[in-house]
Structure 1
Amino acid sequence: MQEIMQYIPGNGIFHRIHPITKLIFTVILVILAVMTSDPLLLGFLLVVVFLAAWAGGLGRGLTEQIPLLLVLGVMLVFFTVLTMPAGGVLFPLIPTAVPFIGGGLPVTAGALLFGTILSLRFAVMLFAFQLLVVSTKPAELVTTLRQLKMPIDYTLMFLIALRFIPTLQREGIRISEAQLARGYAPGDGLMGKVRGLRPVILPLILNSLGKADTLGLTIDMRGYRRGKAETGSISVGALDGVVLSAALVLAAGVAAIQIIGL
């Protein structure tokens, strides 16, 4: 399984453009996803992200994250249905034949639509950000953020957070394999996967806290101090112009559709 938020070496389109171009592309997609409430437009933006990933040779890495995203999307829709009853009732989660509580927890059209919009919006933002991270070396990303005058403290926190995501993923896999090697059998199916999470979560949290504490002490012992911002110039090429132009055309098209109300 491909590690989440981990740089993937390559020579695709997104590997060859400047990190600032990728940042602008990601910001445009995030803004469009936030400003758009049309499921069709959000689905279109999601397709655009995947087409861009496949064009840059990074489609496989994003595709492997779809099952996880589907689980998160279903959970988001489910909790939205439970907490936001709006619109006409489609069907109850509890069958009417059940005594006393039959017909409870109604699933409404408004809640289902809103949950779907939230899931699509989350997917667009997540995949757009992941496309930025997997196509940019951490050193280049840090240098670009420093050239944009971002404080070094925020840059350091951003980089550490990115590095912790694949680290937690690997640690969780190791703990799960260790539990299975000791004879733990959570069972098959969905409930088996849920039961298999219980002996993993607590050790994972404790190990993460320990790693964070060790990292903080290491940074302090090495004499971390705030440095000056990078002063190098930002130079872009023709390919950067093509990507930026395509992003601006996409933004203008989505904005026009939103204004016209198609």
Structure 2
Amino acid sequence: MLKDVTIGQYVARDSLIHRLDPRTKLISLSVLVVAVFVADALSFHLILVVYIGIAVLLSKLPVLLVLKNIRPFLWLMVLTLGLHGLFTTEGTLIFSIAWLNVTSEGLTRGLFFSYRLAVLISSTALLMLTTSPMDLIDALEHLLRPLRKVGVPVHELAMMTGIALRFIPALVDEADRLRKAQLARGADFGGGIVRKTRNLLPLVVPLFLSSFRRADRLAVAMEARCYRGGEERTNFRELGFRRADGLALAVVFLVTLVGLLLNTLELTV
């Protein structure tokens, strides 16, 4: 399951999605995330799935590479489905467990919220896989630049986000290495959820120590390079919107407007 986490991992490809300005991808993701949680129209969500599928194909990435990011969050989707199924009282009663009633409306809502989580995870994974961490830092800094006027340390926030994203793959690899070392010593990571959790506890302390060592080495390296935050900092590669970025944003806003329109029409029927 650790290998299924690709957050922070950039896969280089010569594709249209990779060549888009990182600000375009961040804005597109933000707009779609808001739309997917606001709109309830089934027709819109069908269009959205097709849109995301086309984006994955244009990225020239394996579909399974994007979808496998959902696997570590399956427990959250199952929990969401269970909570909605057990505690939603509207709809047709399917069966009862003691004082808990499972209804058709509850299961429908649970499935819908689980789908929304899957869309959020897969869309975020596509952004991470097609955008380098440095490009993400620059994009965040550019988009949040107006907040400097109210005293927000924009560059520092963007740098912290980028460092965190770069640390995730390293921590995943370190956790996998520690797990394999424990397996070589005869550790058993099988069994149920409780047993797996208890057996994974011995990995927590060495993983934290490794994280602190990495952070300390990074701090020393940044000090050795005279890093002073965003003071008079220049970018190696300047960001710039192109015609493809304008077209991509137009498509995203068009899909969102169609979704809101369909949602309004369904509510008025």
Partner of 1:155: 158
| 1:233 Cα offset (Å) | 6.8
Counting matched residue pairs gives 252
C-alpha deviation, 1:219, in angstroms: 5.1
Distance 1:225 1:165 in 2: 24
User: Could you say which residue in structure 1 is the equivalent of 2:77?
Assistant: 73
* 2:249 corresponds to: 244
> CA 1:233 to 1:11, structure 2 compared with 1: closer, same or farther past 3 Å?
closer
Contact 2:95 2:103 in 1 (8 A): yes
Cα distance change, pair 117–223 in 1 and its aligned pair in 2 (3 A): farther
1:185 maps to 2:188: yes
What's the secondary structure of 2:48's corresponding residue?
helix
Note the alpha carbon deviations across 1:102-157, whole angstroms, 9 max, x for none. x2443333433333232222222222222222111222222233333541111012
Partner of 1:4: 6
Shift of 1:184: 1.2
Pair 217,230 (structure 1): closer, same or farther in 2 beyond 3 Å: closer
CA distance in 1, matches of 2:128, 2:10: 6
CA contact (8 A) 1:85 1:107 kept: yes
Query: Among residues 24, 34, 37, which one is paired with 1:34 in the alignment?
Result: 37
Tell me the residue number matched to 1:145. 140
Unaligned runs of 5+ in 2: 146-153
Q: Displacement, 1:197?
A: 3.6
Which secondary structure does the structure 2 equivalent of 1:65 belong to? helix
- Whether the 8 Å contact between 1:42 and 1:117 is mirrored in structure 2 is no
Instruction: After TM superposition, give the deviation of residue 180 of structure 1 in Å.
Output: 0.6
The CA deviation string for residues 217-258 of structure 1, in whole angstroms up to 9 with x for no partner, is 765676543324769975322322332222122112111101
Gaps of 5+ in 1: 95-102
* Mapped partners of 1:229, 1:258: distance in 2: 45
Partners in 2 of 1:194 and 1:40 — Cα distance?
41
Deviations 1:4-55 (A, max 9, x none): 1211100111111211221222122112112123466445424432331122
Q: Percent identity?
A: 31
Local SS of the residue matching 1:261: helix
Q: Equivalent residue for 1:168?
A: 171
Structure 2 partner of 1:112: 107
